[in-house]
Amino acid sequence: MARKKKKWLKSIQKFKFGKIFVKKGHLQVGRVLIALCLLLIVVSRASDLLHYQPRQNVDVSKLPMNQLTKKQFIQRIAPEAQDIQTQTGIRASISIAQAGLESDWGQSTLAYKYNNFFGVKASAGMQSISLSTSEYEDNKWVKVKAPFRVYSSWQASMEDHADLLLRGTTDNPNRYARVVSGENVEEAAQALVDGGYATDPNYAKKLIEIINMYNLTQYDH
């Protein structure tokens, strides 16, 4: 048996790297294990490379709004917000921040299914959808059902939102006048709260945080 073992070891030594694994007639088990581990790593990496497929370039402009990152969302709607500012004086930063906050950056059902990015409620005779929403009443959040506008596109939603801020409501045409006339984004954001756009007492603060976080004033002109 011993002779067979020595013969086997000698046969290993005949290979180019055999002397690495056999020393003085003894098999270097530690070196063999290391070599096997390295071999497994090489084989694994080779398999990964064989199965690797380069990621195809994705045309972001064709992705649905609910598949965009927050920065992509901003880039998508910024040109429209700037056009609206040119036509109405409503700061692009306010429009973008409101769209992000109200639609959860395009993720909300109201946004991606019904193109309503500003949580605009529907009046009688308007195309609408009834959905649950959270309202802040009597110092607490409550769930209520409310009718919301349905739009043909997110651009139509932005245009209608701008029209609401400009024209106000039937009972108060100047309800959101200071959103346009405010001297800075802080005044414009607060004017939305004062006009009753949202019941959230921290609404203005949230808008300003979004504007600052993503430097949205860069889109104002």
Q: Which is the catalytic residue, given 160, 194, 209, 220? A: 160
Helix segments in the chain, DSSP class H: 2-13, 18-21, 29-51, 70-88, 92-103, 109-114, 154-167, 177-181, 185-194, 203-213
Q: Annotated catalytic, 137?
A: no
Q: Dihedral sign, CA of 175, 107, 205, 188?
A: negative
Q: Annotated catalytic, 194?
A: no
Name the token pair of 17: 């790297």
Would you give the DSSP letter of residue 65?
Answer: G
State how far the Cα of 1 lies from the Cα of 45, in Å rounded to an integer.
39
Would you give the DSSP letter of residue 120?
Answer: P
Q: How far is CA 81 from CA 47, 109, 206, in A?
A: 49, 22, 19
Query: Which of 150, 197, 148 has its CA nearest to residue 172?
Result: 197
Enumerate residues 6+ apart whose C-beta is below 8 A from 31.
20, 21
Residues designated as active site? 135, 160
